[in-house]
């Protein structure tokens, strides 16, 4: 009997200890299972700040939408901004890494994560940033993580057109913008027909995005064949001032076709300066180069065309007339000597010309075989510089087949500097090179009509 009572008492004691242990386990597990993001927010241990500093902006002006998450507990994962769509607005996420830090506020250690959207309103009006659902992962313990989403409140901002009656696509909006042009050789150099020069326009716009940059339009130029390379756009981030600069580079190669002045026209772009809130212009002045002897002819024309120049010439003649007489006698003697030996001189120069042309023909074929097309083009110019074509063929000196070969050769000769890489399937064969040479060499000759070959592609 006593043994039975002892057993029952032991069983009751064991059951009591089991109940106490279960209660303790329940108390330990309750905080982890009961805590969620809403409770952390209500307890002031988790915060979300979404703000726009500038509420009134101009069309195409950059608007920074800052997103900051703060927590008294460490974050397990990096902040990931959700997709954001606002009508009539270009929305871009900041391409830089999320800024993570820890700081003490009123004696409490806070862990922070910062990220940013860039907004560019494309028209005037009222805009609303909708509620954002920001995913958050917070570590309660090393093995316990609370995850979910916290919501932001809508934010409004206004965009206005800075000036009326202006093309928005061509408008630059920025606190700082620059437009410049550079060339691969100075325009003050001496140029000849067939030479090429490349101009590079550079547009830099601070606090903007490359997709908002307007085009730089370069019109056709008389006496020049233009090859425009596709514009290169990129975003350049400045780590010192934490700002983005959008840049555009537009290259154009000028192949000089005629003697005289060549003018690269003036470029002007409209810029709304958000720092001063004023409409300004970005300008590159026109650039001028001389082809052939135009510089000497212009100088002589200007001298003879003015009264002071005429007086200066008269004084010079009165002072140095005897030198002119001596030079005239000398030239007359030379002319008489040439007259006596004209036939021999003519034969000599014809033979020399034929020899030089043959050498250039061989050189041209070698350049084509080695796919050195720019040198081949220059050799053609040298060959034709020793040829004169009859007046009847000035407007169309080449047949259609030879003209097509010439166009292809020009494209291959200058495409690497103007249009990027050339397709490997595009080339000029040795047979085509000989066909072009034959068309040029077989052109009818004349002794009186000077050579004026038209190399325009169009």
pLDDT at site 416: 54
- Backbone phi, then psi, for 272, in 5-degree steps? -95, 115
Q: Is 196 exposed, middle or buried (0-12, 13-18, 19+ CB in 10 A)?
A: buried
What whole-number distance in Å separates Cα of residue 67 and Cα of residue 69? 7
For residue 336, the 8-state DSSP code is H
pTM above threshold 0.75: no
- What are the structural domain ranges in the chain? 37-160, 171-294, 349-441
Domain topology for 171-294: Immunoglobulin-like (2.60.40)
Euclidean distance between CA atoms 379 and 72, whole angstroms: 76
First-to-last CA distance in the chain? 124
pLDDT in tens, the chain (458 residues): 555 556 656 666 667 666 666 656 644 544 444 567 788 888 888 889 999 988 789 999 999 999 999 998 888 888 899 999 999 999 999 888 888 888 888 888 999 999 999 999 999 999 999 999 999 988 887 678 888 889 999 999 999 998 888 888 899 999 999 999 999 988 888 888 889 999 999 999 999 999 999 999 988 888 898 999 999 999 988 777 678 899 999 999 999 988 888 889 999 999 999 999 999 999 999 988 898 865 454 555 555 555 555 566 666 677 677 788 888 898 888 888 877 777 777 777 777 877 888 888 888 898 888 888 888 888 888 877 644 333 333 334 678 888 888 888 888 887 654 444 455 567 888 888 888 888 887 766 433 344 444 545 44
- The reply to whether domains 37-160 and 171-294 share a CATH topology is yes
In this prediction, residue 299 carries a pLDDT of 55
Q: Which helix (H) or strand (E) holds 325?
A: helix 307-340
3-state secondary structure of 280: strand
Q: Tell me the C-alpha distance between 199 and 202, whole Å.
A: 10
What's phi and psi for 102, nearest 5 deg?
-135, 135
In this structure, what token pair is assigned to residue 2? 């006593």
Class at the top of the CATH hierarchy for domain 37-160: mainly beta
Instruction: Say if CB 164 and CB 138 are below 8 A apart.
Output: no
Rounded to 5 degrees, φ, ψ at 153 are -95, 150
For 125, other C-beta atoms within 10 Å of its C-beta total 13
- pLDDT value of residue 444: 60
Beta bridge partners of residue 160, listed in sequence order: 58
């Amino acid at each position: 009997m006593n043994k039975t009572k002892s057993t029952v008492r032991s069983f009751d004691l064991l059951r009591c200890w089991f109940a106490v242990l279960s209660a303790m386990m329940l108390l330990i597990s309750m905080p982890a299972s009961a805590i969620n993001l809403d409770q952390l927010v209500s307890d002031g241990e988790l915060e979300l700040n979404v703000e726009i500093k500038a509420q009134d902006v101009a069309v195409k002006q950059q608007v920074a939408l800052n997103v900051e998450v703060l927590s008294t507990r460490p974050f397990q994962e990096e902040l990931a901004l959700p997709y954001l769509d606002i009508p009539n607005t270009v929305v871009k996420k900041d391409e830089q890494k999320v800024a993570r830090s820890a700081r003490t506020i009123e004696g409490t250690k806070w862990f922070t994560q910062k990220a940013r959207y860039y907004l560019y309103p494309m028209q005037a009006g009222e805009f609303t940033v909708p509620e954002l659902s920001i995913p958050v992962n917070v570590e309660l313990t090393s093995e316990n993580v609370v995850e979910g989403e916290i919501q932001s409140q809508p934010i409004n901002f206004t965009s206005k057109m800075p000036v009326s009656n202006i093309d928005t696509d061509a408008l630059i909006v920025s606190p700082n913008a620059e437009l410049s042009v550079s060339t691969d050789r100075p325009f003050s150099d001496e140029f000849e027909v067939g030479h090429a020069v490349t101009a590079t326009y550079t547009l830099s716009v601070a606090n903007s995005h490359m997709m908002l940059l307007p085009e730089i339009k370069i019109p056709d130029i008389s006496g020049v064949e233009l090859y425009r390379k596709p514009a290169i756009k990129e975003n350049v981030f400045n780590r010192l001032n934490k700002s983005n600069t959008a840049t555009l580079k537009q290259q154009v190669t000028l192949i000089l076709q005629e003697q005289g002045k060549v003018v690269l026209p003036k470029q002007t772009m409209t810029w709304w300066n958000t720092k001063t809130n004023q409409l300004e212009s970005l300008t590159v002045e026109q650039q001028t180069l001389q082809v052939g002897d135009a510089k000497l002819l212009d100088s002589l024309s200007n001298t003879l065309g003015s009264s002071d120049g005429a007086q200066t010439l008269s004084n010079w003649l009165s002072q140095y007339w005897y030198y002119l007489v001596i030079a005239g006698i000398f030239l007359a003697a030379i002319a008489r000597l040439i007259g006596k030996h004209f036939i021999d001189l003519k034969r000599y120069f014809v033979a020399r010309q034929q020899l030089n042309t043959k050498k250039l023909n061989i050189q041209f074929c070698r350049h084509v075989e080695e796919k050195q097309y720019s040198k081949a083009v220059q050799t053609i110019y040298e060959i034709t510089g020793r040829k004169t074509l009859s007046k009847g063929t000035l407007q169309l000196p080449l047949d259609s087949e030879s003209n097509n070969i010439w166009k292809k050769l020009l494209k291959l000769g200058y495409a690497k500097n103007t249009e990027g890489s050339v397709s490997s399937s595009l080339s000029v064969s040795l047979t085509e090179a000989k066909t072009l040479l034959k068309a040029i060499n077989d052109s009818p000759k004349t002794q009186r009509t000077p050579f004026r070959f038209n190399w325009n592609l169009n």
